[in-house]
Every structure is written in structure tokens, then in C-alpha cells.
Chains A and B, each alone.
Chain A
């Protein structure tokens, strides 16, 4: 795993991490859902857990919450075992689906859940913060998908957790519902709460996370800011006009993994576009220089659908 992209690791030495996963492995029979996964999340980070279906996101989250037992490895949440972290109200979660009684009102299920804790934030407050105070008397069964998700968020706010985990929280919501939901989360995170959310919506990860952890086949394949992840996966393409270019020489430049010469045009694929540009502009007669970045979607596809051998270069 790359550690040089973790902004936090440079500034924090001994602070207890919000999440510390070490060699986390989960096997279901012959299937390995999570494979030797290491991850450290510092307090205050907003982290997206990005990956395709079946990548092991939910299984990893289940182990963080104590819902599943690791086959190997360890989970610590603020230095505590997951069940203890739940008992102390330090971790709370918004699950993808289910988990709500249908025949009670919004306010009732919040009051009920509050009764399971020794002390909580006031019911009215969490309803307000989740943006559902106006539907407190509505029956859960009559709430829309987005409203039910905000209700799950309200329930998770009750113990005032230090770490909020959201497992694909906006699945099935319309665009407006998603925006409202993320605004509520974002506002909440500004107070310093650590947030970890799993998603397969790339734009969500790009827009709302400080840091993206890309996982595939139960392993972290990329970790960094959105632009770092993009650069890792797709790199950038440098295009210039350079008559008489030496393709072999260009391909051997540091950071260039593919060079192509089409007539007077050269196309260089690189994860060090600055270095390549500097070289082209200072050491050659190149002109019309153009640097383009692939979007996150391309990065995601490149990282999550590639063969294992392709990933060696980017994950280390």
C-alpha cells in the first residue's frame, strides 16, 4: 500500500487511529472476500471506500462493526474491539438496506433505539440534523427510500459517534435525495466526525471524500486523494508535436509507461506528467504541449477490472 499519499500519516505519529485494520482476512469457505487488508484511518478523515460489487467493502465494514468475525487479522476502532466501540457509542453505522421496523413512526423508532443506549443526543436533535423533523409522525413504511436512509442516519447520530460508517448509503436514491443526504453528512463531518463510506458511485467518492481507498478482490489497490487515485490508475496523457521523435528514447523516460509516435505527434502515457512536460519543453523542440487527465470513472475501471499484473505498478 502506498503510504506516501496518506496526508495524515505524515503529521500523526502516536495518535490512536479511528480505524486500524491489520492483515484483515475473511474467508467464506473457499472464497476469500477480504484478503490481508491493511488500512489506517486517522480521526477527522472523510474516506471513501470505493470498489465494484463483490470487492469486499461490505464484508470489511461488517468486521469493523463486529457483525462478522475476521478469519485472520485484527480490527481496532479507536483502539477498541468493535463490540466495545459500539458499547461506548464511538462507532455507528448506516447500513445499505433493511434494519428498520415498518409499522412504527419515525419518532418512535428513534425513541426506541435511544432506549438501547445509556445516554444519547436528544431525539428532536437527531431528527433535525438528519433533516426529517417534519416527518417525525410518519410511519416508516410510508417513507421514501431517501427518507428511510436519513432515518438510518438519525439513528446512527444518537450515540454521537466519533466514527460514522455508511455502507452504500445512497443506493436507490434519486439525484436530489442523494444531494440532500450528502449535504447532511458533509455538514456533520465538518464538526470533526470521522466518516467512512462505501460506494460504487465514483462521483460521490470524488465529490465528498478527502481520501479514496480503492479496493478490489478484498485488497487495497489504490489509496490517496481523488486526483492521486486518478493519476495512479490512468496516469496522464502528454501530447505534443515533435518532428522526428525517437519513440524508444521517449518510452524510456522516467514515469512513462507507453509512448506512441503518430507522424509528428507524440502521445506519452505517464504518471509523471510534470517531469515529462519539463523534459519535452526544455530538452526537445516539442510544441503544442497538452496534458489530459482521465476521469475518475476511467481510473476506477482501470484499477478494478485490470489483471493482477497490471496493478503491481500502481498499488506500490
Chain B
């Protein structure tokens, strides 16, 4: 038998802020940026869509009723698309980390679960901001011209609106135990984007779909982000986004409590 334990006085190793740190956040962001597949969906695909579907509309107006440039409308829509993909994927990564046992490993450290969720949300917001910026840079190079306040407000709308998708990602992440959660989230996101009028104007869709579309979260975020350009800001859209954020956020919180409860 060996001698006494290591001499030591009580040391509290609890970090400040429940373990939230820029070290962790920076590593989280780097993980996503290193993943070629997520880079493609978050940054490249929206930019390519703009070049394919936005550029040909150069010089045209949205429609007869609205003289705003169609190319700007498409750019903002695709910025929303990029931001929502970035946010959902980052939140949904929780499913992978749960499947890999990382969440369990974290419980062997002083990191508090709320600090973990906060890191995920901030990481989602950082990546959606990057996605919006890339889309706007591509758009600006491609010839989108808008007043400065429209750039700013539309950008803020697309960026902050992606919070609802970070909540959606966390919700799905805590719901599904699978590693391949984004495999089935991908098509759902594309469908939501279609309903939200991000790929084609809602007017081209059948009436029933248009009615349904107005209740989807993407429609809300999309119309808020485009409203500085189209001048049709509506409180209904705000209500839509707030409602869905609350729904997914509460759902994620409930599942999160179930997940972190000791059995």
C-alpha cells in the first residue's frame, strides 16, 4: 500500500461563468469551419445560388407593385437561408455530441449545462453572421445596390432571426439521439425554405401552400429581413418568429432537463 494521498487543501475548480469561455467558443466555431460539408451548406451553397438564380434577375424589379430590385430580394432571402442552415446545424450538433457521449463526459467536469447551451447558441449566431456577411459580400460584388440602412437592417434581421433556428437545432438535437440528425434535417430545412419563400416568391405557389407557408418560421424571418427593402414590415411576422422561437426554445429546454437529469 502506498502512503498518504497527495497533500492538498480544498481547491474549488469551478470556473467563472459556469465554465463558459472564449477558448471553448473559439474551438467550437473552428470545428464547424473545418468541416467541409457544413462549410459548403453554410457559405458556399447560398453564394452559388445567388450566382445561379440572383444574377440573371439583375436590373429587374420584384414585381409591378414593388420597384425594389429583384436581385437584392434574392440576396437577402439567400442570406436568411444561409443563416438558418448555419444555426440549425450548430444547434443540431448536440445530437451528435450526445450520441458520442460527449455530453456525459461534460458532466465529469464543472462545466454547467447552461454554459454549454450558451456556447452552442453563440457559436450558431457567429456562424450565421458569417454566412450573412459572405452572402452580402457576394451580392455586393454581383451588383446589389441598397441604402446603407437597408443593408444593416436586412442583415440584422437575417442574422438575429436565425436564433429561431438555433432553438430548432437544439430542439431536434435533444430529441434525436442519432449522429446523422442533419441528414434528415437537410431536406426539412430545404422544404421550410421553400415554404418561407426563400427560393421562389410565394406568389408562384398554389394558394393552399401559400396559406400554410405564412405560419412557418422561415416565412417570418424572411419577411422581416426583406422588409427594409420591400417596405412591408408586419407585426404578424414578428409574432410568428417570437412564437416559434419560444416554442422551440421551451421544447429544447424541457428535453434538455430530461437529458441532464440524473437517473
Instruction: List chain A positions with a Cβ less than 8 A from chain B.
Output: 7-8, 18, 42-46, 65-69, 86-89, 92-93, 95, 97-104, 108, 111-113, 115-120, 155, 159-160, 162, 189-194, 210
For residue A195, which residue of chain B has the nearest CB? B2
Closest CB in chain B relative to A215 CB, distance in Å: 21
Q: Is the CB of B13 within 8 A of A69?
A: no
Closest CB in chain A relative to B25 CB, distance in Å: 9
Q: Is the CB of B4 within 8 A of A87?
A: no
Q: List 29 A-B contacts (CB under 8 A).
A: A45-B1, A67-B104, A68-B263, A69-B263, A88-B10, A88-B11, A88-B14, A89-B13, A95-B101, A95-B104, A98-B102, A98-B105, A100-B100, A101-B100, A101-B102, A102-B100, A103-B34, A115-B21, A115-B23, A116-B15, A117-B109, A117-B110, A118-B12, A118-B16, A120-B13, A192-B5, A193-B5, A193-B6, A194-B5
For residue A117, which residue of chain B has the nearest CB? B13
Q: Complex Cα distance A160/B109, Å?
A: 12
| Given A18-B5, A88-B11, A190-B2; A68-B262 close (CB under 8 Å) | yes
With A192-B4, A192-B6 known, 10 other A-B pairs at CB within 8 A are A43-B4, A65-B108, A86-B109, A99-B104, A104-B31, A115-B19, A116-B106, A118-B14, A120-B13, A159-B13
Residues in chain A near residue B110, CB distance under 8 A: 86-87, 89, 116-118
Residues in chain A near residue B107, CB distance under 8 A: 65-67, 86
| Given A86-B109, A116-B111; A69-B4 close (CB under 8 Å) | no
Residues in chain B near residue A95, CB distance under 8 A: 101, 104-105, 108
Closest CB in chain A relative to B114 CB, distance in Å: 13
Q: Is the CB of B3 within 8 A of A99?
A: no
Residues in chain B near residue A86, CB distance under 8 A: 107-110
Residues in chain B near residue A190, CB distance under 8 A: 2
B183 at the A interface (CB under 8 A) = no
Residues in chain B near residue A192, CB distance under 8 A: 2-6
Q: Which of B1-58 contact A (CB under 8 A)?
A: 1-6, 8, 10-16, 19, 21, 23-24, 27, 31, 34-35
Q: Complex Cα distance A210/B3, Å?
A: 12
For residue A18, which residue of chain B has the nearest CB? B5
Q: Complex Cα distance A159/B14, Å?
A: 11
For residue B112, which residue of chain A has the nearest CB? A116
Residues in chain B near residue A189, CB distance under 8 A: 2
Residues in chain B near residue A104, CB distance under 8 A: 27, 31
Q: Is the CB of B15 within 8 A of A115?
A: yes
Q: Is the CB of A99 within 8 A of B101?
A: yes
Closest 5 CB pairs of A and B: A98-B101, A43-B5, A99-B105, A89-B13, A116-B111
Chain A CB count within 10 A is highest, among B4, B5, B101, for B5
Residues in chain A near residue B8, CB distance under 8 A: 162
Residues in chain A near residue B97, CB distance under 8 A: 101
Q: Is the CB of A44 within 8 A of B4?
A: yes
Q: Complex Cα distance A77/B162, Å?
A: 44
Q: Complex Cα distance A44/B7, Å?
A: 11
Q: Is the CB of A119 within 8 A of B102?
A: no
Closest CB in chain B relative to A164 CB, distance in Å: 11
Q: Is the CB of B1 within 8 A of A100?
A: no
Q: Is the CB of B100 within 8 A of A87?
A: no
Q: Is the CB of A112 within 8 A of B262?
A: no
Q: Which of B98-147 contact A (CB under 8 A)?
A: 100-102, 104-111
Q: Is the CB of A108 within 8 A of B13?
A: no
| A89, A112, A194: the one within 8 Å of B23 (CB) | A112
Q: Complex Cα distance A9/B219, Å?
A: 70
Q: Complex Cα distance A89/B9, Å?
A: 12
Residues in chain A near residue B10, CB distance under 8 A: 88
Q: Complex Cα distance A31/B241, Å?
A: 47
Q: Complex Cα distance A226/B11, Å?
A: 35
Residues in chain B near residue A66, CB distance under 8 A: 107, 262
| Given A67-B262, A87-B14; A115-B2 close (CB under 8 Å) | no
